[in-house]
Amino acid sequence: MSKRTLEFELATPGVDAQGRPIRVPLGAAATAAPELAGEHMLINLGPQHPATHGVLRLVVELDGETVVRVIPHVGYLHSGFEKLGEYRHYNQIIPLTDRTDYLAPMSNNVGVALAAERLMGIEVTPRCKVLRVIACEMSRVISHLVWLGTTSIDLGAFTPFLWAFQQRERVYNLQEMWTGARLTTSLTRVGGLMADIPAGFADGLREFTRTFPDTLNEIDGVLTRNAVWAGRTQGVGVMSAADAINHSLSGPMLRASSVPYDVRKDKPYLDYETYEFDVPVGEHGDVYDRYLVRLEECRQSTRILAQAIDRLPDGPINVADPRVILPPKSRAMTDMEAMIYHFKQVMEGVKAPVGEAYVGIENPKGELGNYFVSDGTAKPVRWRIRPPAFINLSALPTLAEGHLLSDLIAINASVDIVMGEVDR
Amino acid sequence: MNPSVEALRAAFGSAIGRATVARDGETIVVVAAPHARDVLRWLRDTPGHAYAYLVDITAVEYRDRERPIEVVYFLRSLERRTDLRVKIELAPQDELAVDSVVSLWAGANWLEREVFDMFGVTFREHPDLRRILMWETYAEGNPLRKEFPLRGRFSRAEQVRQALAANPEAHYSLDELSIADAYHELPPDMRERLRKGERGKIPHSE
Amino acid sequence: MKHVIETKQVAGQSPNWLLARLDDLVNWSRANSLWPMPFGTACCAIEFMATAASRFDFARFGMERQAFSPRQADVLICAGRLPFKLAPVIRTIYDQMPQPKWVISMGACASSGGIFDNYAMVQGIDTIVPVDVYVPGCPPRPEGLLYGVLLLHKKIKGESLLDRGLREEQVLDETGLRLAPEQIDEISEPFGNSVHQFRSA
Amino acid sequence: MHQPYIAFLLLLAFVAANAVLLIGLSHFAAPRKPTPTKSAPYESGMPPLGSAHERFSVKFYLVAMLFIVFDIETVFLIPWGTIYFADSSAASAGGPGMGFLLAEMLVFLLILFVGYVYVWKRGAFEWD
């Protein structure tokens, strides 16, 4: 972690001795000189706003320029995913998950597939595990790239947006090569994947992992030691480690507040323990550290991608159990038993045993959990998505109160919300 | 089986119901509703267990109506890397109410509001219990309940009309309306409607 | 009964040769400098950003400047699904856009509710605002959106200043609906696979 | 060489005419269809609550005044600069000597610098 080289004494209320943000006492100006005090103004940083990263609505009570209170209103993109999940087979739920966190679709597909497989007690093939790791890390890169681009626009730097989106298009090309779709990939199936990687994928990915760090270094060079960027992000929106745990933050928000918790390291899945990568942890827990953590995570993901593509084993991508995976078309058309399995799966879906299962994976936004409760039928009784962005956003009032309005924009950007997941 | 269960039985005795192991290997322990908050505070504060991280709060309603609705707390101890799932069973016929744990974990605030919005489970002593995903004057009930039809109770035209015809104050929480009122900025007609308590009703056209 | 405005094909037989030139000039200038109001809600908004970024770059078609306030916008692009909670927002923003204005409904969810045939989703934004071009796809590829924009250019070039009905403000009347209730119910009927999604077990 | 001011006045007239033409044309030719919702203030699609006519803290006014003072100071530097840094023909044409021009501007800057130090010491630049 690059030691912080730019220390700015803060014009805005920053951090007091114990690391807690200084709260501007309400009506401070009122006590000092009553007639000078202005009235508070209620404004809407409403659903349709370029700086809210989606249809989030913040009702802000302003005393001049200082944010006295922030009341977030969410639900403007509530699409009833969990209700729809109860009307769908497990394999039909996977296309829904692309639309929750549409910045990291493949990672969500893997999350639901892992939960369903844990519920049904299925162990996937080694090749499928490595391909799923590739899918997760590619999603982490493109999700952080969108975050980098839009946050730098919020704070006034437009070029990183274009650099980031150019690299993102390269990953979109790879995703399109693999799954046929740029964004709604629906990659996984219960027990395997929808398709194996095509011929040119491995070389394209290797080429990407080789040249992508150059763009990262460019963005790093433009932003990290930029006086404006550091001035607007250091000491802004500070959250201490204890508060971060108490607010159930996860992902880069938690690690920026110096809590070294990463699901890939602490509750490993998909053999993550066999990859060597390190987890960036911040010290101050402010917007600047969240930026540094996310930037470093992009580099670590590239390292993992490089290792994964080198160690990709051969073999099948789907588990051999015909009750779970559709038999290949050739056998389904010739072998009677395969046709029966094919018919039963398509018409009745994959039956899950009675019980429940929760699997949390390290999504770019934080710990994305999928909790399935099943009563033995092919459709879950309850499909609960543990939304990291929703829980991280609930800490916004404590982060932003007492700061200036422009800091509120920086803090809201640093929380890295995606409204499809916040509102589900 | 998580060792915390025995410690819980020792500490709370009959308040702790059955404990099972879920299909993903985590331990589920059912707790009686009146003692739920004390059990959760005990789990969070005792040094040996230290479940300081609340992963998630949700509710589960089964397809056969006799089974009680469960409010599920996912707890995790970061130091010991162990998880525990605490469930509270609420019989559907009696009142759906549970003690709020916002005083223990600040992250529970929105999670409880979402369970209230989607299932209708009220959380006692929650600082700001109101709908979070649907708008506050939503009149069709609690969407994730099993008796709630998938496409909603009203006709599509009525749903569109209700959505478009809401009064301006329906877009604000009472908290914000009181702030505006403190600065005498509420228009007279809105204050009149609020005084008469008409905030929920949508003016019907016929 | 609500009158639905039909754009008559008047460019060809404009009665007055003098106005014909003005029509072409006005339509040409309007079509080639459409400032989009990106009403980006969900996944389509990401494809919309990809279209705005440097690879597909809809600045080539005159949409260089995105107007984030309705006051300076010409075309409202609803990129993404529209829940009922957001319906009054898009209606207010559409009303606050000055004439001349158009609406592109980007993506299957905006055009017809898409896979979200449930309690929370408006089944097509044409029940709320008049839509000029529907772009299919989930999400539509950037080229799909660009094709929708070119269709809108063709539609604008076919308009005429004589056609007063085009630029009338369609404000919600006392019933609070843009179309008759039966028409909205008929538009919002489940179709395709979502007809079967009623059994929860 | 005709009067140098003709060119300047022509430029002024062209600028004025241009501005009037643009605003006037769009004022009369643009379609204007006012509706109650359209005239309401735009607040990200939400009905606004409370009026925007608020009593603000005085520090905003203070900053505006300071800005005007020091901004006009730089505006005065520009014409002075064109003369001072022009080629030596100005000095030979009987105008004021280069030394005098410099001294005069330094006095002007000094006066404003005293004001700057006074304002700084009174703490007007402390934002909250």
Two structure tokens written together for A206: 């290797």
Q: Is C78 on the interface with D (CB under 8 A)?
A: no
pLDDT tens-digit readout, A159-168? 999 999 999 9
CA D25 to chain centre: 27
Q: Would you say residue D113 has pLDDT above 90?
A: yes
pLDDT of C165:
82
**In total, how many domains does chain A have?**
1
Q: Is C89 on the interface with A (CB under 8 A)?
A: yes
Question: Any residues with CB less than 8 A from the CB of D6 and at least 6 apart, and which?
Answer: none
Percent of chain A beyond pLDDT 70? Answer: 91
Residues of C in contact with A379 (CB under 8 A): 200-201
Neighbours of C157 (CB within 10 A): 15
Q: How confident is the model at residue A280 (pLDDT cuts 50, 70, 90)?
A: very high
Burial class of residue D87 in the structure, from the number of CB atoms within 10 Å of its CB (0-12 exposed, 13-18 middle, 19+ buried): exposed
Q: Is A30 on the interface with B (CB under 8 A)?
A: no
Please list, residue by residue across B110-132, b when 16 or more beta carbons sit within 10 angstroms of its beta carbon and e when fewer do.
bbbbbbbbbbbbebeebeebebb
pLDDT of D94:
60
Two structure tokens written together for C109: 């969810």
Please check whether residue D59 lies inside any domain of the structure: yes
User: Helix (H, G, I), strand (E, B), or coil: what is residue C98?
Assistant: coil
Q: Is C192 on the interface with B (CB under 8 A)?
A: no
* B-chain residue closest to A367, CA distance: B55
* A-chain residue closest to B183, CA distance: A39
Q: Is B151 on the interface with A (CB under 8 A)?
A: no
* D-chain residue closest to A44, CA distance: D43
Whole-structure pTM value: 0.88
d(CA C83, CA A306) in angstroms, rounded, equals 41
d(CA A144, CA A414) in angstroms, rounded, equals 11
Q: Is D60 on the interface with A (CB under 8 A)?
A: yes
**Nearest by CB to A45, which of D44, D48, D60?**
D44
pLDDT of C168:
86
Q: Would you say residue A1 has pLDDT above 50?
A: no
**Nearest by CB to C95, which of D30, D37, D44?**
D37
> In this complex, which chains have at least 3 CB pairs below 8 Å with chain B?
A, C, D
Please check whether residue D54 lies inside any domain of the structure: yes
Q: Which amino acid is it at B201? A: K
Question: Any residues with CB less than 8 A from the CB of D28 and at least 6 apart, and which?
Answer: none
Q: Would you say residue C14 has pLDDT above 70?
A: no
Mutate to test the interface with D, among C37, C39, C95, C129 (most CBs of D within 10 A): C95
User: Helix (H, G, I), strand (E, B), or coil: what is residue B88?
Assistant: strand
Neighbours of C181 (CB within 10 A): 16
pLDDT tens-digit readout, C128-138? 999 999 999 99
**Contact call for D37 and C171, based on CB within 8 A:** yes
Q: How confident is the model at residue A4 (pLDDT cuts 50, 70, 90)?
A: very low
Q: Is D44 on the interface with A (CB under 8 A)?
A: yes
Strands (DSSP E) contained in C58-114 are 75-79, 102-106
Two structure tokens written together for B184: 């005498």
Q: Any idea what the CATH number is for the domain that residue D110 is in?
A: 1.20.58.1610
Please check whether residue C201 lies inside any domain of the structure: no
The residue to which tokens 């789990």 are assigned: B43
HSE-up (13 A, CA, CB side) for residue C51: 31
**Nearest by CB to B55, which of A75, A121, A248?**
A248
**Prior bond of A47 cis (ω within 30°):** no
pLDDT of A97:
93
Strands (DSSP E) contained in D1-128 are none
Residues of B in contact with A77 (CB under 8 A): none
Mean pLDDT, range D85-106, rounded to an integer: 74
Q: Is the four-CA dihedral A251, A254, A255, A256 of positive or negative sign?
A: positive
Q: Is C175 on the interface with B (CB under 8 A)?
A: yes
d(CA A166, CA D80) in angstroms, rounded, equals 48
Domain boundaries, chain B: 4-134, 154-206
Q: Is C140 on the interface with A (CB under 8 A)?
A: no
The residue range of the domain holding A200 is 81-423
Nearest one of A357, A121, A129, A395 to A254, comparing CA atoms: A395
**Contact call for B63 and C185, based on CB within 8 A:** no
Q: How many residues does chain D have?
A: 128
Nearest one of C37, C80, B165, D63 to A49, comparing CA atoms: C37
**Contact call for A79 and C81, based on CB within 8 A:** yes
Q: How confident is the model at residue A7 (pLDDT cuts 50, 70, 90)?
A: very low
Question: Any residues with CB less than 8 A from the CB of A28 and at least 6 apart, and which?
Answer: none
Nearest one of C136, C139, A82 to C124, comparing CA atoms: C136
d(CA A14, CA A238) in angstroms, rounded, equals 8
Q: Any idea what the CATH number is for the domain that residue A145 is in?
A: 1.10.645.10
ipTM exceeding the 0.90 mark:
no
Q: Is the four-CA dihedral B102, B108, B109, B115 of positive or negative sign?
A: negative
Q: Of chain A residues 49-108, which have a CB less than 8 A from chain B?
A: 59, 61, 69, 71, 73-75, 78, 80, 82-84, 87
Q: Which of A51-65, A347-361, B143-157, C161-175 has the lowest mean pLDDT?
A: C161-175
**Contact call for D49 and B183, based on CB within 8 A:** no
> In this complex, which chains have at least 3 CB pairs below 8 Å with chain D?
A, B, C
HSE-up (13 A, CA, CB side) for residue A410: 27
Mutate to test the interface with C, among D26, D42, D43, D49 (most CBs of C within 10 A): D42
What string of H, E and C letters represents the secondary structure of chain A? CCCCCCCCCCCCCCECCCCCECCCCCCHHHHHCHHHCCCCEEEEECCCCHHHCCCCEEEEEEECCEEEEEEEECCCCCCCHHHHHCCCCHHHHHHHHHHHCCCCHHHHHHHHHHHHHHHHCCCCCHHHHHHHHHHHHHHHHHHHHHHHHHHHHHCCCCHHHHHHHHHHHHHHHHHHHHHCCCCCCCCEECCEECCCCCCCHHHHHHHHHHHHHHHHHHHHHHHCCCHHHHHHHCCCCCCCHHHHHHCCCCCHHHHHCCCCCCHHHHCCCCCHHHCCCCCCCCCCCCHHHHHHHHHHHHHHHHHHHHHHHHCCCCCCCCCCCCCCCCCCHHHHHHCHHHHHHHHHHHHHCCCCCCEEEEEEEEECCEEEEEEEEECCCCCCCEEEEECHHHHHHCCHHHHHCCCEHHHHHHHHHHCCCCHHHHHC
**Kindly report the CA angle at B65 between B29 and B57, in degrees rounded to 5?**
40
Q: How many residues does chain C have?
A: 201
Mutate to test the interface with D, among B167, B178, B185, B194 (most CBs of D within 10 A): B185
Mean pLDDT, range A397-404, rounded to an integer: 92
Please check whether residue C96 lies inside any domain of the structure: yes
Residues of B in contact with A394 (CB under 8 A): 106-107, 109-111
The residue range of the domain holding D57 is 5-121
Residues of A in contact with D45 (CB under 8 A): 46-48
DSSP at B202: P
Mean pLDDT, range D75-89, rounded to an integer: 82
Q: Between these two residues, A405 and D31, which has the higher pLDDT value?
A: A405
Q: Is the four-CA dihedral C36, C38, C39, C42 of positive or negative sign?
A: positive
**Contact call for B151 and C118, based on CB within 8 A:** yes
CATH ID of B4-134, from 3.40.630.30, 3.40.190.150, 3.40.50.720, 3.30.460.80 = 3.30.460.80
pLDDT of A121:
92
Q: Which amino acid is it at D63? A: V
All residue ranges of chain B with pLDDT < 70 are 200-206
Q: Give, in order, the Cα–Cα distances in Å from A185 to each of A312, C109, C127, D16.
A: 21, 17, 30, 58
Mutate to test the interface with C, among A44, A74, A76, A79 (most CBs of C within 10 A): A79
Please check whether residue C169 lies inside any domain of the structure: yes
**Contact call for D57 and A29, based on CB within 8 A:** yes
**Mean pLDDT across chain A, nearest whole number?**
88
The residue to which tokens 């039809």 are assigned: B149
**Contact call for A47 and D46, based on CB within 8 A:** yes
**In total, how many domains does chain C have?**
1
- Beta strand B97-99 with B69-77 is unpaired
Q: Which secondary-structure segment (H or E) carries B112?
A: helix B108-119
Q: Give, in order, the Cα–Cα distances in Å from A411 to each of A119, A157, A236.
A: 38, 16, 7
Q: How many residues does chain B have?
A: 206
Q: Any idea what the CATH number is for the domain that residue C115 is in?
A: 3.40.50.12280
